[in-house]
A and B are shown apart, each in its own frame.
Chain A
Amino acid sequence: MNDWSLLIFTIAIQAAIGSIWMLWMFQFKHKKKTDQEIFQLFKVPLIVIAALSIIGLGASFSHLGTPSNAFNTIRNIGSSWMSREILVTGMFIGIVVVACAWALYRQRISPWLLFGAGLIGLVDVYCMAAIYTNSLVGPWNSIYTFMSFYGTTFILGSVLAGALLTPVLYKQKKDLEAKQFLNIAFIIMLSGVALQVIGVALFPTSMQEINMIGETVETAILASYKGMIASRWIISIVGIALFGYLTISTFKKLYTRLMILTLLLFVMSEGLSRYVFYLLGS
């Protein structure tokens, strides 16, 4: 496995994209809140999301053998999904950083910047997946790749935004708002998991054609990663249970810690899932 940089890159950017949407949704739902209130709530989340995007960018650079040639990578927009993805990812990260800087400078949030980043982000997830589905690597060549990538975006986006926003809301004694947001996050997380489950069901287990010389049949590879795939789902289920518990419980004492634990569980399960994804291709 030598694709750690790509694993970190895809996971970080997808989490950032999902959580930008969650922030946008929160401010949309709470239009009555003053600019100052929203700013106070979003300040830390925006900094975290911008940092995450920059970590993703750094990881993607570390994948390149000659990063000094990075500007060349957008020369082939016409036919290369890699080119398109790099351009769109660059735009996403750019807007997120601008949104963060703008917020800190003006002490208010621009919903339009969030919305723009979110939209470009969704296109970006498509481009990221298309890189793999358009390659000749058999196991990547399926609808599963799209569903898995969008699934991760929903899952990590909602859990990350939940972990960033709800503890603050509770501290401000806005229990109802926290609960409402947590419920939405929970539903979005579940839909992300559903996407991935359907994706797995649609995953072609027997490969009809060999596209690359020296390629092994994927059922055989999948079988050898059984343990890893099983633990990924077990961790997901524990995460879902814990998140579900947090949405219904009134127990506040350890709330922040449990929310962070939930986030870590999902980072682990998504990380494992992506790890297997890259193993399948190597």
Chain B
Amino acid sequence: MTQVGFFIDVTKCIGCKTCVISCKDKNDLEVGRNFRRVYSFETGEFPNPRLAHLSISCNHCDKPKCMENCPTTAIYKRKEDGVVLIDHDKCVGCKYCEWNCPYEAPQYSEELGRMTKCDTCIDLRENGEEPVCVTSCPMRAIEFGPIDELRKKHGTNSDIWGLPSSTITKPNLVIKK
């Protein structure tokens, strides 16, 4: 299995949220349901204040707490690339995964009565394309691919101030800060 993951370059991100919008468009998400979100954190102190923007979706974690706690086993980690998916034939819509993901990745659909989330644009990837957040970012601040390669290229950090500790779920995420 080649585990896939995301690389987020916080030094490049300008917080424009194009990734959020392109993802909403691709997945036809109504107001309030966002598979990818941009969080803005203020850090530092005068005279060196800093505003950091962090684009986050599901990190297809190695220790997915969402999956561990899902009562129906609807959440599973796909064998071939470690993508964490939700089987809608099983999901009961209890929203327990919402309380168990550090990154607010599971997003409830009132219409479906089930939980939904980022699937790394599986359909696009089957056609050899990249996830839509990656291709839409004007700053090229998001990369997607085998996590080993991303780590080789950008290091292994997956923590940043304001983000819960990566020890909780071991996200497949690399952050440049």
Q: Is the CB of A214 within 8 A of B94?
A: no
A213 interface contact, C-beta 8 A: yes
A82 touching B96, Cβ below 8 Å: yes
Q: Are B104 and A135 in contact (CB under 8 A)?
A: no
Contact flag A73-B168 (CB < 8 Å), given A80-B70, A135-B69: no
Q: Is A136 an interface residue (CB 8 A)?
A: yes
Residue A210, interface by CB 8 Å? yes
Chain A residues with CB under 8 A of B1: none
Contact with B along A90-120 (1 / 0, CB 8 A): 0000000000000000000000000000000
Q: Which of B92-108 contact A (CB under 8 A)?
A: 92-96, 99-104, 108
The answer to whether B164 and A210 touch across the interface, beta carbons within 8 angstroms, is yes
Q: Scan residues 172-221 of chain A and give those whose CB is less than 8 A from a CB of chain B.
A: 209-214
**Interchain nearest-CB distance for B43 vs A (Å):** 13
Chain B nearest CB from A140 CB (Å) reads 8
Q: Are B164 and A211 in contact (CB under 8 A)?
A: yes
Kindly report which residue of chain B lies nearest to residue A82, judged by CB atoms: B71
Known: A211-B102, A213-B163. A79 touches B114 (CB 8 A): no
Q: Is the contact region of chain B dominated by helix, strand, or loop, or is it mixed?
A: loop
- Count residues on chain A whose CB falls below 8 Å from chain B CBs: 32
C-alpha spacing A211/B169, complex, angstroms:
10
Q: Check if A21 is an interface residue, CB within 8 A of chain B.
A: no
Instruction: Given A64-B92, A66-B91, decide whether A73 and B164 contact each other with a Cβ distance below 8 A.
Output: no
Whether A81 contacts B69 in the complex (CB less than 8 A), given A135-B100, A213-B39, comes out as: yes
Query: When A65-B92, A69-B90, A136-B102 are in contact, do A209 and B69 touch as well, CB less than 8 Å?
Result: no
A-B interface, 7 closest residue pairs, ranked by CB to CB distance from nearest: A65-B93, A65-B113, A72-B72, A135-B99, A82-B71, A83-B71, A69-B92
16 additional contacts, CB 8 Å, given A72-B91, A135-B99, A214-B104?
Answer: A65-B94, A66-B91, A69-B89, A69-B92, A72-B71, A73-B92, A75-B72, A75-B73, A76-B70, A86-B71, A131-B96, A132-B99, A135-B69, A136-B99, A210-B162, A211-B102
Chain A residues proximal to chain B, CB less than 8 Å: 63-67, 69-70, 72-76, 79-83, 86, 131-132, 134-137, 140, 209-214, 281
A-B contact pairs, 28 of them (CB 8 A): A63-B95, A64-B113, A65-B92, A65-B95, A65-B114, A66-B93, A66-B113, A69-B91, A69-B93, A73-B71, A73-B72, A75-B71, A80-B69, A80-B70, A80-B71, A80-B96, A82-B71, A131-B96, A132-B99, A135-B96, A136-B65, A136-B102, A136-B168, A212-B101, A212-B103, A212-B164, A214-B39, A281-B99
